[in-house]
């Protein structure tokens, strides 16, 4: 994890005091840009920086032009880059594998050897932010003219690696407010938030990860009680790790005087899947809603289309998390859950209404069903399908 | 923020951090390891516990105060010297202490998988000037001579290095400057450099030892969060070593295969000459010589005894003639190269070790430990008195 | 009185946070397998 490195602590120990001591907003802006560039260069390396610079320049120029065709072309370029860097071995391997598994393995290996050892750092987040920006430019909602502003929007280091996914309409005003004047309250709140994030990550989540990695291969051989404890541990590990990381990102930004949007709002308190996705990785779910679901038609074309759109959106959401079938299945799992959750009252008529009324009268039951469904989904997220199935089945057998 | 005031929070953050740095610095000077016997698994990195160089220096100072008039004998080396399999009451280094008597103080800093100058070698360097009569005794196998910054215990080397505890050595500085770094090694060095100013490893290792640990490990499981001082020597709860042929039979072929992969037997290091005799290659001889030159700075090799610990003759008998010849050659050549570099050498090849002295291919049973202690004590007593050290810092 | 308590409470919170950051520096060196969620 990038924030738990000595380099990062040394970097922050130098950057933050310099930032706070500079009396002029423009100087702070410049220092922040330099700091972000150093951060990105250090962790991404040349192989990671160059593609992002190319995409950023293309996006900036397309945005400056305001021309729809340029925006569309650059959106395609960004999505294609993500596809090539992150997904090409998977896509090619899966497609060819339908006919010739050995050839598929060879193709996937050849592609991996042709590409850098790992995709450019944070390419998933860059792509989403560039696509959002270009889409909004096309809709005439905004245009960034300052290259410094755009560069900072691109490589703002607190949210670079794991979000929250920024919207430039919110980020740029927050950036300018922050560099204009950093209050002591911002620093104090930011420090506290960073500490909370690290506590979630290093005190709890890392330990849970070690426990899970040790016991998961022998999951079905544990006692029933232990299996349920591990099941809960898996769910809390991802929540604390991811939300902890978001806390650190939000806290660091706040120490610059910059407010980032919240990314998690107690997601395991949700009593429906819709509510879960309003509380979990909020910046991702809103992005998917605004830039995939709504352009696909959303819920404007009837229930059937709404359900199909939901499946597409969540399959893509799953794929975004990783290039493997279990991520897609996890996405479809949530798409299916949302399809049922959002439409059973309508589709099941009187029975549906009765079920809905019953669940409304017993919120803990809704909560338990939602939590159980989400936690089962994590088995699909982390483990290959056969293993996930065995683990899930073993929760209900001696 | 209505419940809090931002300025006191910020002041408190700085005050809390600085206070911890000062506490860590104070802790680093104290001996926290009362009744220290050895670095058993609960006191070293197998269970995510990393004693610092300062802490181990404090142990040696506490066990052998300079004013006590005893000669400090620091042990380094790997799991063989660590007494892997021996319970702490059976530990070979206790037998060594008994053999040497009150004029000596043996402190065992060996650790599993360590190179010959790891841990104990680092602490010996730190204390060489303060204890001009101190001796360093370590073990290795022929062909394996990694420098102190090149193993899993390199963190301790860098800890001592950045704290300024090691004597300066121009040859070492040149070697370190020319060595290729990886992102991992850079991060490790940066961490230890920061620790030399902020003492976070010293403080929180102390807290882990005395009050509460915060890292779950599969070795400890539900005991992971107990203070390490409350955990007994891991080997004490293990079944006793069974030095019997029936046990060795069960270890075939895995252990024999592992033996064949050891440096001493590696076919890359040897070749057959014109008359079919096995000789070590020039390349591997040069490599060994270069590695040995990087081990300890002058004049410390003259105060150091390197022990080539034995292989179980039961397993040696299962090797081919060519393999046994390479083992013997390795012991012989290794000894010559080390002596050439100024080290004292004890080769245990053909020194009367029998299968009952072993728990597996290399690790010694309590009986084997006593035999080793006797041989090592003999060697130590026969080492000449070290001259006054001309070390710089 | 309220202000003094608020200041004291804030100072204590700050000290705890500062000590915790010191601890995090230690924890980095003893981390097991890091869970790198989203490096790319």
Residue A276 predicted with pLDDT over 50: yes
Whether B389 contacts B112, CB under 8 Å: no
How far is Cα A357 from Cα A351, in angstroms, rounded to an integer? 10
Pairing of strands B278-280, B270-272: antiparallel
Whether A317 contacts A334, CB under 8 Å: yes
- Domain-by-domain residue ranges, chain B? 32-382
Look-up of token digits 């070293």: B44
DSSP state of B225: T
Q: Residue A310 has which token pair?
A: 């939901």
From the CA of B21, how many Å to the nearest CA of chain C?
8
Closest to B190 (Cβ–Cβ): which among A7, A207, A211? A7
pLDDT in tens, B90-143: 999 999 999 999 999 999 999 998 999 999 999 999 999 999 999 999 999 999
pLDDT band per the 50, 70, 90 thresholds, residue C40? very low
Q: Do C39 and A237 touch (CB under 8 A)?
A: no
Rounded (10°) angle between helices A325-347 and A349-361: 100
Q: Residue A272 has which token pair?
A: 């429906």
Q: In the predicted model, what is the mean pLDDT of residues A186-190?
A: 97
How far is Cα A72 from Cα A385, in angstroms, rounded to an integer? 36
pLDDT in tens, A110-133: 887 887 777 888 888 999 999 999
Q: Do B216 and A211 touch (CB under 8 A)?
A: yes
Residue C38 predicted with pLDDT over 60: no
Whether A163 contacts A125, CB under 8 Å: yes
- pLDDT, mean over chain A: 92
How far is Cα B96 from Cα B73, in angstroms, rounded to an integer? 10
pLDDT of the residue at B244: 83
Q: In the predicted model, what is the mean pLDDT of residues B208-236?
A: 93
How far is Cα A118 from Cα A143, in angstroms, rounded to an integer? 32
Q: In the predicted model, what is the mean pLDDT of residues A321-347?
A: 90
How far is Cα B122 from Cα B177, in angstroms, rounded to an integer? 19
pLDDT of the residue at B391: 53
| Interface mutation target, options B6, B7, B8, chain C, most CBs of C under 10 Å | B8
Q: Do C29 and B205 touch (CB under 8 A)?
A: no
Q: Which residue of A has its CA nearest to C31?
A: A206
pLDDT of the residue at A94: 82
- Which range of A45-54, B15-24, B183-192, B292-301 scores highest in mean pLDDT? It is B15-24
Q: Residue A165 has which token pair?
A: 């996914």
* Three-state secondary-structure class, residue B67: helix
CATH of domain B32-382: 3.40.50.1110
pLDDT of the residue at B131: 95
pLDDT more than 90, % of chain B: 73
**Which chains contact A through at least 3 pairs of Cβ atoms less than 8 Å apart?**
B, C
User: At A69, which helix (H) or strand (E)?
Assistant: helix A68-82
Q: State the CB neighbour count (10 A cutoff) for residue A344.
A: 16
Tell me which residues of A are annotated as active site.
321
Instruction: Name every chain C residue with its beta carbon within 8 A of the beta carbon of A188.
Output: 10, 14
Kindly report the backbone phi and psi dihedral angles of residue B217, in degrees, each rounded to the nearest multiple of 5, phi listed first.
-130, 150
| Whether C24 contacts chain A with CB within 8 A | yes
**Alpha helices of chain B — where are they, by DSSP H?**
6-28, 53-63, 92-100, 120-127, 154-162, 170-178, 183-198, 200-210, 245-251, 254-260, 282-293, 313-316, 321-340, 366-382
Buried b (16+ CB within 10 A) or exposed e, B162-190: bbebbbebeebeeebeeeeeeeeeebbbb
pLDDT of the residue at A90: 85
pLDDT in tens, B180-206: 999 899 999 999 999 999 999 999 999
Q: In the predicted model, what is the mean pLDDT of residues B32-49?
A: 92
**Which chains contact B through at least 3 pairs of Cβ atoms less than 8 Å apart?**
A, C
Q: In the predicted model, what is the mean pLDDT of residues A221-240?
A: 96
Q: In the predicted model, what is the mean pLDDT of residues A204-208?
A: 95
DSSP state of B137: E
pLDDT in tens, B49-67: 999 999 999 999 999 998 8
Measured at the alpha carbon of residue A160, what is the angle toward residues A156 and A166, in degrees to the nearest 5?
75
Write down the ipTM of this complex: 0.91
Q: What is the DSSP string of B162-217?
A: HTT-SPP-HHHHHHHHHSPP-HHHHHHHHHHHHHHHH-HHHHHHHHHHHT------
Measured at the alpha carbon of residue A35, what is the angle toward residues A64 and A150, in degrees to the nearest 5?
10
Residue B393 predicted with pLDDT over 70: no
pLDDT in tens, B133-169: 999 999 999 999 999 888 889 999 999 999 999 999 9
| Whether C30 contacts chain A with CB within 8 A | no
């Amino acid at each position: 994890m990038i924030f738990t490195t000595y380099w990062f602590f040394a970097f922050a120990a130098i950057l933050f005091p310099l930032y706070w001591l500079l009396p002029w907003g423009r100087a702070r802006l410049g220092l922040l840009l330099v700091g972000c560039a150093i951060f990105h260069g250090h962790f991404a390396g040349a192989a990671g920086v160059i593609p992002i610079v190319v995409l950023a320049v293309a996006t900036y120029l397309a945005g400056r032009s305001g021309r729809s065709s340029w925006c569309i072309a650059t959106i395609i370029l960004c999505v294609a880059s993500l596809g090539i860097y992150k997904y090409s071995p998977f896509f090619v391997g899966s497609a060819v594998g339908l006919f010739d598994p050995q050839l598929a393995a060879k193709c996937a290996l050849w592609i991996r050897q042709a590409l850098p050892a790992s995709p450019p750092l944070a390419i998933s987040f860059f792509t989403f932010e560039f696509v959002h920006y270009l889409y909004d430019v096309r809709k005439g909602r905004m245009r960034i003219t300052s290259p410094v502003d755009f560069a900072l929007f691109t490589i703002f280091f607190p949210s670079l690696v794991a979000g929250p996914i920024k919207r430039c309409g919110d980020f740029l005003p927050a950036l300018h407010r922050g560099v204009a004047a950093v209050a002591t309250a911002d620093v104090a709140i930011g420090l506290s938030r960073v500490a909370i994030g690290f506590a979630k990550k290093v005190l709890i989540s890392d330990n849970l990860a070690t426990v899970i990695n040790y016991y998961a291969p022998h999951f079905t051989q544990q006692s029933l009680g232990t299996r349920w404890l591990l099941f809960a541990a898996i769910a809390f590990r991802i929540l604390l790790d991811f939300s902890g990381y978001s806390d650190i990102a939000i806290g660091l930004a706040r120490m610059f005087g910059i407010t980032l949007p919240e990314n998690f709002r107690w997601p395991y308190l949700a009593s429906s899947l819709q509510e879960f996705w309003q509380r979990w990785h909020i910046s991702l779910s809103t992005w998917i809603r605004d830039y995939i679901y709504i352009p696909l038609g959303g819920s404007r074309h009837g229930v059937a289309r709404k359900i199909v759109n939901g499946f597409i959106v969540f399959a893509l959401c799953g794929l975004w998390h990783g290039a493997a079938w279990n991520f897609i299945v996890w996405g479809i799992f949530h798409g299916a859950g949302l399809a049922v959750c959002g439409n059973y009252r309508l589709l099941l008529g009187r029975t549906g209404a009765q079920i809905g009324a019953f669940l409304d009268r017993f919120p803990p039951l809704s909560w338990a069903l939602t939590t159980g469904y989400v936690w089962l989904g994590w088995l699909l997220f982390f483990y290959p399908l056969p293993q996930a199935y065995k683990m899930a089945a073993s929760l209900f057998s001696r | 923020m209505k419940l809090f005031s931002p300025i006191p929070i910020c002041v408190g953050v700085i005050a809390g951090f600085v206070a911890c740095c000062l506490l860590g610095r104070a802790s680093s000077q104290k001996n926290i390891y009362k009744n220290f016997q050895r670095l058993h698994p609960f006191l070293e990195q197998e269970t995510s516990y990393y004693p610092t160089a300062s802490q181990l220096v404090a142990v040696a100072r506490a066990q052998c105060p300079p004013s006590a008039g005893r000669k400090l004998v620091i042990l380094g080396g790997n799991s063989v010297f660590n007494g892997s399999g021996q319970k702490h009451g059976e530990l070979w280094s206790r037998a060594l202490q008994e053999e040497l008597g009150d004029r000596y103080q043996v402190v065992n800093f060996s650790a599993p998988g360590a190179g010959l100058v790891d841990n104990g070698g680092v602490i010996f360097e730190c204390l060489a000037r303060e204890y001009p009569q101190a001796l360093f005794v370590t073990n290795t196998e022929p062909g394996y001579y990694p420098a102190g910054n090149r193993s899993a215990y390199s963190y301790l080397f860098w800890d001592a290095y950045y704290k300024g505890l090691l004597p300066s050595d121009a040859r070492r500085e040149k070697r370190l400057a020319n060595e290729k770094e990886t992102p991992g090694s850079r991060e490790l060095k940066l961490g230890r450099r920061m620790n030399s100013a902020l003492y976070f490893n010293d403080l929180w290792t102390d807290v882990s030892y005395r009050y509460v640990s915060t890292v779950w490990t599969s070795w400890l499981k539900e005991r992971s969060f107990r203070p390490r001082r409350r955990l007994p020597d891991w080997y004490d709860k293990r079944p006793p070593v069974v030095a019997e042929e029936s046990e060795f039979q069960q270890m075939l072929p895995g252990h024999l295969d592992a033996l064949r992969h050891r440096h001493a037997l590696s076919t890359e290091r040897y070749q057959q000459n014109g008359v079919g005799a096995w000789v070590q290659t020039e390349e591997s001889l040069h490599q060994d010589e270069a590695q040995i030159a990087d081990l300890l700075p002058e004049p410390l090799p003259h105060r150091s005894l390197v022990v080539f610990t034995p292989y179980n003759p039961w397993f040696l008998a299962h090797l081919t003639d060519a393999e046994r010849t390479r083992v013997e050659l390795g012991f012989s050549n290794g000894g010559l190269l080390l002596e050439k570099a100024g080290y004292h050498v004890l080769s245990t090849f053909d020194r009367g070790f029998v299968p009952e002295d072993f728990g597996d291919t290399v690790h010694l049973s309590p009986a084997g430990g006593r035999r080793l202690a006797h041989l090592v004590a003999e060697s130590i007593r026969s080492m000449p008195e070290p001259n006054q050290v001309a070390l710089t810092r | 009185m309220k202000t003094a308590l608020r200041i004291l409470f804030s100072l204590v919170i700050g000290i705890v946070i500062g000590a915790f950051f010191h601890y995090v520096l230690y924890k980095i060196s003893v981390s097991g397998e890091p869970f790198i969620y989203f490096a790319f």
